[in-house]
Amino acid sequence: MFRVRRRETTLGKVLTFSDLVYHNIVHTFCKAHGNALMSIAVNLLQMIIFVLALYLMFTILGLCGAVLRGDFMVYIMSDFFPFIRHIKTVGAITGSDGPASPMMKNTPMNTSISIVAAALSQLYIQMMSLVVIMFGYHVLVTPFIILGVAGVMFIIWLTWFTAFAIGLVFLAIKP
């Protein structure tokens, strides 16, 4: 019916947007599984299985003896993690809620919030999985040192941003 419009400050708009993104991230976590920890655990298990499969494949093919400075398993993980982060982020952006979704019927909700929440939830899940796997490998198997931390973080952000951009292109193409 009649609504009283009140002037909202820029800080209020930013806080409202952040609050909506946060709640949509939680909704995205619990959409696939009933528990947010379960979605992180499933992603963690998928990454461990893929890394072990790659290691087994390289071992069977005899490519583990390649001249590398450092640990071969860290080499495989440094190739695999950006790939899987890119693929899952593109899929999350492309599959984010559109304008016809039931979530969009709520007044402050819009598609930009849904897209940002999908991207941030994938970044969070992938970073948590990366930290847990690398910590577990460091503690259980062999300690290692990452010399170029800035370069590693650059690759993490670069793959996430490019996946965000490509996911937006695919979302625009999607009917």
The model's pLDDT over 84-125, given as tens digits with 9 standing for 90+, comes to 999 999 999 998 887 777 777 777 788 888 999 999 999 999
Tokens of residue 89, six digits:
């982020």
Give the model confidence (pLDDT) of 66-82 as tens digits. Answer: 677 778 888 888 889 99
CA distance 58 to 129: 23
Does the structure show a pLDDT above 70 at 152? yes
Would you state the pLDDT for residue 1?
57
Strand, helix or coil for residue 166: helix
Give the global pTM: 0.85
CA distance 160 to 89: 7
CB neighbour list of residue 142: distance below 8 Å, 6 or more residues apart = 71
Rg (CA), the chain: 20
Would you state the pLDDT for residue 162?
96
Tokens of residue 14, six digits:
């930013």
Side chain identity, residue 124: Y
CA distance 143 to 134: 10
| Cα diameter, the chain | 74
What residue spans of 33-148 are helical by DSSP H? 36-61, 72-94, 111-140
Closest among 166, 21, 32, 173 to 87, alpha carbons compared: 166
Would you state the pLDDT for residue 105?
76
Does the structure show a pLDDT above 60 at 148? yes
Tokens of residue 140, six digits:
């259980």
